[in-house]
Amino acid sequence: MTSFRAGVVAIVGLPNVGKSTLLNLLLGQKIAIVSARPQTTRNRILGVKNLDGAQLVLIDTPGLHRPSGKGRSELNRYMVEEALRAFQDVDAVLVLAEAPTEPDYKIPPSHAALLDALAAAKKPSVLALNKIDRARRKDLLLPALDAWSRAHAFAALVPISALRGDGVDQLVEELRKLLPEGERLFPEEMVTDRAERWLAGEMVREQVFILTREEIPYAVAVTVDSFKERAKDVVIDATIHVEKEAQKRILVGERGKMVREIGSRARREIGGLLGCPVHLKLFVRVDEGWSQDARALRDLGYE
């Protein structure tokens, strides 16, 4: 008889490689928000995938990145620390990178710190090259896999598409092999450690990322002020915090058009998550310099 395996795997990689997309696909449910912009994910999110004879606990981290230029803020420092911390208490690491679309592949230099950390952590790891659906030339894949296998002793290297699901079953099998023998870490019915209330706030923040431009997405935090479950629906009040009056004007939009659009899109997403109708009331409030101030970050739940 084979014994049960259970363990925690951190998904790490540069911003925008598809970590949250992969987590959502693996769980068959959207718990991590996704946008085409880097640094959409701000907090560590834990997801539980139950397999036959194993429990795979996945941690979606904010992207590993070096703070630079305008990002040199308290928020940035927090995100780097958070990503590195996610490394410490895991059984294995899944490194996600993008599959090449051009010849002459080189591992992006920005991965140096990640590879160093990986070697130092001495954790078993798997590399997945994501977005193979975009790669028109499949022959470009081999040199990339070769480069990665020379850079670190990965237990396996798997090309995948988190968007379409290609290669994902194989990836799960490779990760399963790295899990230690042991009992389930979480109850079988649990999908995430994040409360629905927190997820609802993230769904609002996701729409801000999708619908606004330039510095606005990064100037925003969302708090859920009230979350009332009634017999047939849920009533949610949430506040979108911004740093400046000018940002508030953009978020509210002409005659409230923008905040209404954010609200109606987020309402549909939250309804999908909760499986019932949702009434969502959004407020926009100026909280000067919240992203610069570590204490304000803690107050907003970013610790």
- Which residues make up the interface to ligand GDP (CB under 6 A)? 13, 15-21, 34-36, 40-41, 63, 130-131, 133-134, 161-163
Q: How far is the CB of 43 from ligand GDP (least distance, A)?
A: 12
Ranked by CB distance to ligand GDP, the top (closest) residue is 18
Choosing among Mg ion, ligand GDP, none, which partner's interface includes residue 18 (Cβ < 5 to 8 Å by kind)?
ligand GDP
The helix, strand and coil proportions of the chain, stated in percent and rounded to the nearest 5, come to 40, 20, 40
Nearer Cβ to Mg ion (20/247): 20
Q: How far is the CB of 65 from ligand GDP (least distance, A)?
A: 10
Burial state string for 103-120 with b = 16 or more CB within 10 A and e = fewer than 16 = eebebeeebeebeebbee
Choosing among Mg ion, ligand GDP, none, which partner's interface includes residue 17 (Cβ < 5 to 8 Å by kind)?
ligand GDP
Question: Is 20 one of the binding residues for Mg ion (CB under 5 A)?
Answer: yes
Q: How far is the CB of 172 from ligand GDP (least distance, A)?
A: 15
Residue whose entry in the numeric block shows the structure tokens 């670190």? 152
Nearer Cβ to Mg ion (16/223): 16
Question: Is 41 one of the binding residues for Mg ion (CB under 5 A)?
Answer: yes
Q: In Å, what is the CA distance from 280 to each residue of 51, 238, 301?
A: 35, 7, 20
Q: In Å, what is the CA distance from 58 to each residue of 44, 165, 207, 289, 291?
A: 10, 17, 24, 33, 27
Residue-wise DSSP of 8-46: EEEEE-STTSSHHHHHHHHHTS--S---SSTT---S-EE
Choosing among ligand GDP, Mg ion, none, which partner's interface includes residue 36 (Cβ < 5 to 8 Å by kind)?
ligand GDP
Choosing among ligand GDP, Mg ion, none, which partner's interface includes residue 161 (Cβ < 5 to 8 Å by kind)?
ligand GDP
Residues 6+ apart with CB under 8 A from 77: 67
* Interacting residue ranges for Mg ion, rule: CB under 5 A: 19-20, 41
